[in-house]
Amino acid sequence: MAIDVQHENNPRDFSRGMLEHLLEIEAQASALVNDAEAEAERRIHENEERNRIAYEQRFKEEIQNREEALLKAKELIREKYQKELNDYKSEIEAVNVDENRFSVLLNEFLLRKNPQG
pLDDT tens-digit readout, 4-45? 555 556 778 878 889 999 999 999 999 999 999 999 999 999
Higher per-residue pLDDT: 109 or 52: 52
CB 21 within 8 A of CB 1: yes
pLDDT at 1 over 70: no
Give me the pLDDT at residue 91, please: 93
Give me the pLDDT at residue 34, please: 97
Give me the pLDDT at residue 82, please: 98
Give me the pLDDT at residue 87, please: 96
For residues 106 and 99, give the distance between their C-alpha atoms in angstroms, rounded to a whole number: 10
Q: Where are the domains of the chain?
A: 5-111
- Give me the mean pLDDT over the 89-94 stretch: 91
Task: Name which of 20, 24, 28 is nearest 4 in CA terms.
Answer: 20
CB 14 within 8 A of CB 3: yes
